[in-house]
Structure 1
Amino acid sequence: MSTTLTKAPFRADHVGSLLRPESLHKARNEFKSGQITKEQLREVETNEIKRIVEKQIELGLEVVTDGEFRRTWFHLDFLEHLNGIEGYVPDSGFDFVGVEAEKYDVRNTGKVSFNPDHPFVKDFIELNEIVDGRAVVKQTIPSPNQLFNAGIHNPEIYPNIEDYAQDIIQTYRDAIKAFYDAGVRYLQLDDVYIAGLSSPEIPFNDGKYSRDYLIDLALRVANGVLEEKPEDLIITTHLCRGNYQSAWAFEGSYSIIAPTLLAKEKVDGFFLEYDDERSGDFKPLEHIPNNGPRVVLGLVTSKNGELEEKEAIKARVKEASKYIPLDQLCLSPQCGFASTHHGNKLTEEEQWNKLKFIVEIAQEIWG
C-alpha cells in the first residue's frame, strides 16, 4: 500500500499553522509602529513562506501550507474580512487553562456575505505559484460554525438564528467557489465550536437553544455549505479544543457529537485531536461510515517539543483501527504549531522534527 493517496488527506498530513520566525515578529512590530510599509511587511512574509515551503517538501510531506504566516489568528483574520463581520477589542480575552488570550474578537455588524476581494484568495494564488506543482497546497480557513461562538451573532440584525445560518451557508458557498476558481483543491475547515459542543463542561444552553438543537444546526450548516462542492475539491474538518501558547480551552470525548457530526458531516476527512486523555478514547470513531471520511489521527502533540515514542504512536494507530479500518486512517500533529501569531512553546527545530517523525511513521505503517 502506497503512502501516497490518490486524494487528500494524506497518510502524513499536518494541520497547517507553523511557528512564526523572529524576522516575521520583528517586521510585524515594525509595521505596527510605522517603521516599515505594508509592502515591506508582505515581502518579509513572502520570503519566509518560500523558506518553509522548501522545508515541508524537504521533509517528505506531500502537502504544504503557508504556515498561516500572513495571519495573526487562525480564524479572526478570515472572518473579519467577510461582509457584515468586524474585528474589535473586547474587555477581556478568551480563557484558556492557565492563560487569558490576547484581547481580540469579531462581531456581527450587518448582513453576512462573502467579500469577493477577500485577501485570502490572493494569498493562496501567490502560495500556489511558490509551490509550483511540487506538492499539494492546502488552504485552511475557519469553519462556518465558528460564527456561532458566543458573542458574535447579533440578534438585532438576525432575530432568527436560522436566518443567520442561511446567510452563513451562502457566504461559505461563495467562499468555496472563489477559492476553487483560484486553484484550491484541498480545503480545511478549522472548527473549535463543534469540538466545544462535545464538551460537557461548556454550558451552551442559555435558555434559548439546547445542545441537541445546536449540534443539529451545526450539521445542517456544514452540510449546507458542502452541497455545491465541486467533485474534485477535497474538504476536511479539523476539530480543536483550543490552542494558544501551548494552552488548551476545554476537554471532552467525541461521543456527544459522534452519532450526528462524525456520522453525517459530508466532508472527505476529519482531523481529530488524540494526543492526550482530554479527547477520550477511539470508540466514537465507529460512527464514521466505512469507506467514508478519512480520519487523520492527531496523535503527535504540537503543544511541546518532546518527541513521542514511535512504537507508542504505532500502537495507538493499531488501537484506533479496531473501530475504523486502517486504510481509512492517517497521521498528523494534534493541532497547528501556532494557531495564533504567539506560537506554541517549542522551537522551530522541534517543530520540524515532529513533522519528519510523522512522515517516517506513516511510511512504516502504510508502506
Structure 2
Amino acid sequence: MSVPTAQSARQLTEPPFRADHVGSLLRPPMLLAAREAHAEGKLSAEDLHGVEDEAITTVIALQEEIGLRAATDGEFRRTSWHMDFIYQLGGIQKTDEQMRVRMRNARGENSFTSAGLAVRAPVRLEHTIFGADFRFLAEHTRTAVPKLTIPSPSMVHYRSGTAAIDRSVYPDVEQFWTDLSAAYADEVRALGELGCRYLQFDDTSLAYLNDPAQRAMMAGRGEDADHQHLRYIRLINAALAGRPAGMRVTTHMCRGNYRSSWAAEGGYDFVAEALFGELEVDGFFCEFDDERSGGFEPLRFVPPGKRVVLGLVTSKRPELESKDLLKRRVEEASKYVPLEQLCLSPQCGFSSTVEGNALTLEEQVAKLRLIVETAEEIWG
C-alpha cells in the first residue's frame, strides 16, 4: 500500500477516529443470565441494573485497553438498537401487531417478529431518552470519548410507514415530519447539555432504499419510494440544525443485522449523490464487508471535510480478516475519497439485538484489535 502523506497520517483529535466501531457489543453471559432471570421474575429491576452497571464498566475498560479512541456502553441496557428508543418518544405507542421481518444469511433465510408501532398523539420528547445511560458511560470513561448511538428519526417512519399515523392526529402529514424532527432536535440539545460530544444516528433506511426489493415494498405501502431518501435527509438535517457547538455527529447505514443475518442488498448508488452531498453529518459509517454492499464508486460524492468510516471488518462472521486485504481495500477506497478522510471500523455492531451475532467474545475482541492495529499501520 502507498505510504500516507503527513497530513493523512496525523492522529485525529475529534471523532470519528481512524479506528472506530459502530456501537453494539456482544452481551456477556452474566448479563444474558440476569436478563433472563428478570424476565422470569427471579431478579428485581434494581438488581438487573446493578449487573448492567458492572458489565458496562467492564466493557468500557476493554475498549480503552484495546486502544479505541471512542467507547460505547455496548447498548447493554437495550433489547434492540432502535425500538427501545422509539417507544419512549411521546405520541408513539407499541401495538399488538406482530411484524415479521425477513432476513437472510449464508445458510439461507431467517426471520424474526417484533411488535409494531402507531402514532396516536402528537410526536414530542417527554424526557431525555438514554440520558441516564449516557451519564453512566461518561462517568466511567477514562481515555476514550463517550459515544452514544440512537436510531435515526427516519426509522420511526420506515418501521411502519405513513399508514401507522393516526390521521385524526395528523390530518396533514407534513406536521408529523415537523414534529418528529423537532422531537429529535430537543433530544440532541438535551444530550449536548449532558456533555455528549459524539452522537451517532443509526439508520438502516438509507441503505435499504438502495435495494429495488425494498423500494418495491415501500411503493406497495403507498410511499414515494423513489424520493423517500430525500425526505429522510431533510428530516435528519432539521433534527441536527440546532445541535450544540462541538458535538460531532455521524450516521451508520447498514442493510440489517440480526443474528448474523441481513435484510437488504445493493451498493449505495441510488442514494449516494444526495446522501453524501446533502446530509449534514460529520462522518458516514458505511458497511463494505462483502459484495452485498457494492463497490466504493459511490464515495466519489463525499465532499471535502466529511469522513467515511469504512466497515471492512465483518461483525457477522468469526473469521479474522487479513491486514493486507484491509490495506488493499482502503487503498482502493482512496481512489474515490482522499486517504485523510478515511477511517476503519466493523461493518455493523456485533449485537444489534440482545441475541448477538454468531461470534464469541474472544473473536469480537480480535476483530476490534485488528482494526486498531491496521489503522495504526495505515495512518501512523
Structure 1 residue 209 corresponds to structure 2 residue 216: no
1:166 aligns with 2:170: no
1:71-130: CA deviations, max 9, x gaps? Answer: 000000011111011234433431112211143343322111112253x10111011111
CA distance in structure 2 between the partners assigned to 1:140 and 1:105 by the alignment: 22
CA distance 1:155–1:206, change in 2 (3 Å): farther
1:319 match:
332
For residues 331-350 of structure 1, what are the structure 2 equivalents within 5 Å? 331-350=344-363
Cα RMSD of the aligned pairs, angstroms, is 1.4
Asked whether the 8 Å contact 1:18–1:337 carries over to 2, the reply is yes
Q: Give the letter for the 1:213 counterpart.
A: H
- Asked if structure 2 preserves the Cα contact closer than 8 Å seen for 1:286 and 1:324, the reply is yes
Determine the C-alpha separation between the residues in 1 that align with 2:226 and 2:91.
28
Q: Which residue of 2 aligns with 1:73?
A: 80
Letter matched to residue 209 of structure 2? L
Match of 1:136? 145
Correspondent of 1:264 among 278, 294, 299? 278
Post-superposition offset of 1:213: 2.8
Identity, in percent, stands at 45
Are the equivalent residues in 2 in contact too, given 1:199–1:250 (CA < 8 A)?
yes
Indicate which of 181, 190, 199 corresponds to 1:178. 190
Partner of 1:124: 134
For 1:100 and 1:332, the matched residues in 2 are separated by 26
User: Counterparts of 1:96 and 1:90 in 2: how far apart (Å)?
Assistant: 19
Does 2:338 correspond to 1:355?
Answer: no
Asked whether 1:104 is paired with 2:115, we answer yes
Q: Which runs of 5+ in 2 are unaligned?
A: 1-5
- 2:99/2:116 contact within 8 Å kept: no
TM-fit CA distance, 1:196: 1.4
Q: Is 2:157 the partner of 1:148?
A: yes
Mapped pair 1:276 → 2:285: no
- Cα displacement string for residues 174-205 of structure 1 (whole angstroms, at most 9, x for unaligned residues): 00011111110000000011111121121122
**Contact in 2 for aligned 1:3/1:11 (Cα 8 Å):** no
Query: CA deviation digits over 1:229-286, x for unaligned, max 9?
Result: 1220000000010000000001011010011111110100000010011111101000
Question: Which residue in 2 is equivalent to 1:239?
Answer: 253
Number of equivalent positions: 364
Amino acid at match of 1:356: R
| Unaligned segments of structure 1, at least 5 residues | none
1:82 to 89, 99, 114: 89
Quote the offset at 1:161 in angstroms.
Answer: 2.8
Q: What is the TM-score of this pair, normalised by structure 1? A: 0.96
Contact 1:247–1:303 (8 Å) recurs in 2: yes
What SS does the corresponding residue of 2:98 show, helix, strand or coil? coil
Structure 2 CA distance for aligned equivalents of residues 216 and 67 of structure 1: 31
1:155 Cα deviation (Å)? 4.1
Read off the aligned partner of 1:237 and give its amino acid letter.
T
Matched, 1:33 2:40: yes
* Contact 1:252-1:278 within 8 A present in 2 as well: yes
TM-score (norm 2): 0.93
Q: Distance in 1 between matches of 2:29 and 2:294?
A: 36
For 2:309, the equivalent position in structure 1 comes to 296
Cross-structure match for 1:62 = 69
Between the aligned partners of 1:270 and 1:167, the Cα distance in structure 2 is 25
Q: Relative to 1, partners in 2 of residues 1:224 and 1:40: Cα closer, same or farther, differing over 3 Å?
A: same
Question: 2 CA distance for matches of 1:158 and 1:347?
Answer: 47
Matches of 2:166 and 2:98 in 1, distance apart? Answer: 20
Structure 1 position 38, deviation (Å): 0.6
